[in-house]
Amino acid sequence: MKHPVTEHDAALLDSWLDGQLEPGEARALGQRLGVDAGLEREEAELRRLFQAFELGKVEVREGFADSVMARLPQRAKAGRLAVALLVAAALAGLATAVALLSGGGVPTAGSLVATLGDFFGTLLLAGAGLLGASWRGVGEGVRSFLALSPANVAIAVGVSAASALLLVSLLRRRRAVAAERARRNGLD
């Protein structure tokens, strides 16, 4: 007659076959297996189950890793290096062109750097002037708008408050999305 093993013994056998039992527990179980036919039968069935898992496995095709490696994209670092080189080449070309057009003859390395400095300095000053003028224009416009009617002040306050709320909610949403992404460890 077949005697069923207790759930505790079944759990012990299960852990043992899955390599989860401490050495001392495993030794004690091994000793009991030799004298308990029911336990031995249970062990044999469970062992076959573990073996059956192996039967369900497939061999990975030869060349799998080679195929993956052949499809790897260039890392972004290489891309960034290419962009940096392109920018450097464009700057050098620009400086040479400016130096030649300004009639300074064949430029030297020093004169190229000086020309580039002049060029970007002028660009910066012009940009700053434009920006200042733009802000002054915006300031003038707002002042005229507010001076027209007291209701315009209320409208301006309302628009400012709504913009601030929108900004805060966008920041919160962005933080929630970042947290979710972090939870999934960086992958969508």
Q: Which is nearer to other proteins, 80 or 175 (CB)?
A: 80
Q: Which stretch binds other proteins (CB under 8 A): 7-15, 114-122, 135-143, 166-174?
A: 7-15
User: What are the φ and ψ backbone dihedral angles of 103, each rounded to 5 degrees?
Assistant: 75, 25
38-52 burial code (b ≥16 CB/10 A, e <16): ebeebbeebeeeeee
Q: Which is nearer to other proteins, 71 or 143 (CB)?
A: 71
What's the CA gap between 129 and 9, in Å, rounded?
85
Least separation in angstroms between CB 32 and other proteins = 19
Q: Which is nearer to other proteins, 8 or 143 (CB)?
A: 8
Least separation in angstroms between CB 37 and other proteins = 14
Least separation in angstroms between CB 63 and other proteins = 10
Q: Which is nearer to other proteins, 23 or 188 (CB)?
A: 188
Own/partner contacts of 116-120, CB < 8 Å, gap of 24 or more, are 116/91, 119/94, 119/95
8 touches other proteins by CB under 8 A: no
Q: How many residues bind other proteins (CB under 8 A)?
A: 36
The amino acid sitting at 103 is G
List, in order, residues 6 or more apart from 1 with CB less than 8 Å away: none
71 touches other proteins by CB under 8 A: yes
171-186 burial code (b ≥16 CB/10 A, e <16): eeeeeeeeeeeeeeee
Least separation in angstroms between CB 48 and other proteins = 5
Site map 17..36 versus other proteins, x via CB under 8 A:
-x-x----------------
Give me the torsion for CA of 64, 69, 70, 71, rounded to 10°: 100
Question: Where do contacts with other proteins occur on this chain (CB under 8 A)?
Answer: 10-11, 14-15, 18, 20, 45-46, 48-49, 52-61, 64-65, 67-69, 71-73, 75-77, 182, 184-187
